[in-house]
Homo-oligomer: A and B are copies of this chain.
Amino acid sequence: MPSSAVPARRVTAAMVAERAGTSIATVSLVVNGKDRGRVSAPIAARVRDAVDELGYVVDHAASSLARGTGDLVVLIAPDLSNPFFAEVIRGVRDTLGDRYQLVLSVTERGAQPATSDLRRFERLRPAGILVDAPAAGGSLDAAVPVVLLDAPDAPTGAVAVDYDLTSGVAELVAHLRERGHERVAYLDGTARVATFGVRHRLFQEACAAAGITVSELGARADLTVDAAAAATEHALEAWHEDGVTAVVAAADTLAYGVLRVAAATGLRVPEDLAVAGFDDLPSSSVTAPALTSVALPGAELGRAAALRLLAAVDGTAAEPVALPTRLVRRASTGG
């Protein structure tokens, strides 16, 4: 039989009640664990048996309609392909436990989560919504608890978890300084995400403080290796003429593009051009050469966000946080 051709009959609470010789109300109490002191032990046992025998599962639509809210938690993110998110998801899931069911949603290619995405998911009556790297400036309130991840421009009062990039950036700039770089270029992302703005700004400030000049000849690209490679190809000669000896990219993925072009044009990394990124993706240890990067611990971000969502669901307040970051030195900057 085709697995999709013979829809099994849906088992309802009424069927369970009939089999257990009791009422629907009692079934509901038992399956929701609200039977303590409300249902006698023998009846509860009969209900549980019937549930097992019939394979009953509470219908989500009916339940969340009656209750007003369900057990779904939605995580909206711009780009799940970034291995960084696997970590975030793991962190969220671990803290959510199995009282809640996590589902993910990716925005259209390149777009940041916006209010419209939130609206679309409010319909589902989720217990809460997590939004990663929301579009800058959008008002993101909803009829359900919302926690923002990596949203340094979140409006005051919004529940948000962020990275404190100052430590990581300071280490990066000190490292570049140590390696003798005096003139560097910055390869930014094109996405209008606040965290990119912060990375760029902090980097500029730290360079200024350390006496490093950031070349006017910055470039920007979509968050793909190909786009970054194209942007680099375009800018490389100008960088060289401008005396640039190092490129810092707003994300590891962008830095990969720089590495690819360097390899293709015979440029030695780090001797001719040092390269560094942000994220410290797993693959950054196997690029040619291995990539120096400001590590952004994804699982911790996910954990912190989930904790705050749970608090919001319970009506408890939670302080915003900023997680510390650090530099991972590798061959692309001479270790």
Task: Point out residues on A near B: beta carbons under 8 Å.
Answer: 1-10, 55, 57-62, 64-65, 70, 72, 74, 79-81, 83, 85-87, 89-90, 93, 101-106, 108-109, 119-120, 122-125, 128, 139-148, 154-155, 157-159, 224-226, 256, 259-260, 263, 282-283, 285-289, 312
A7 to B81 Cα, complex, angstroms: 32
The 10 closest A-B pairs by CB, nearest first: A81-B86, A288-B288, A3-B141, A2-B157, A60-B123, A104-B104, A61-B65, A3-B158, A103-B103, A4-B145
B83 near A81: Cβ-Cβ < 8 Å: yes
B256 near A283: Cβ-Cβ < 8 Å: yes
B285 near A260: Cβ-Cβ < 8 Å: yes
A159 near B4: Cβ-Cβ < 8 Å: yes
Partner of A70, one of B61, B72, B85, B122: B61
Chain B residues within an 8 Å CB radius of A7: 142-144
Chain B residues within an 8 Å CB radius of A109: 90
A225 to B64 Cα, complex, angstroms: 41
B101 near A103: Cβ-Cβ < 8 Å: no
Chain B residues within an 8 Å CB radius of A139: 3
B282 near A225: Cβ-Cβ < 8 Å: yes
Known: A3-B157, A61-B124, A287-B287. A10 touches B259 (CB 8 A): no
Name A124's closest neighbour in chain B (CB-CB): B60
A85 near B90: Cβ-Cβ < 8 Å: no
5 contacting pairs across A/B (C-beta < 8 A): A2-B157, A3-B139, A3-B141, A93-B108, A259-B286
Partner of A4, one of B120, B146, B259, B285: B146
Chain B residues within an 8 Å CB radius of A140: 3
A71 to B225 Cα, complex, angstroms: 34
Name A160's closest neighbour in chain B (CB-CB): B3
A59 near B123: Cβ-Cβ < 8 Å: yes
Chain B residues within an 8 Å CB radius of A61: 60-62, 64-65, 70, 124-125
A80 to B86 Cα, complex, angstroms: 7
A171 to B74 Cα, complex, angstroms: 43
A26 to B148 Cα, complex, angstroms: 38
If A60-B61, A103-B105 are given as contacts, then 5 extra A-B residue pairs at C-beta distance below 8 Å, sorted by A number, are A3-B157, A8-B141, A8-B143, A60-B124, A93-B106
Known: A61-B125, A122-B57, A282-B224. A104 touches B101 (CB 8 A): no
A73 CB to nearest chain B CB (Å)? 11
B6 near A141: Cβ-Cβ < 8 Å: yes
A312 near B4: Cβ-Cβ < 8 Å: yes
A140 to B6 Cα, complex, angstroms: 12
Partner of A59, one of B59, B81, B125, B288: B125
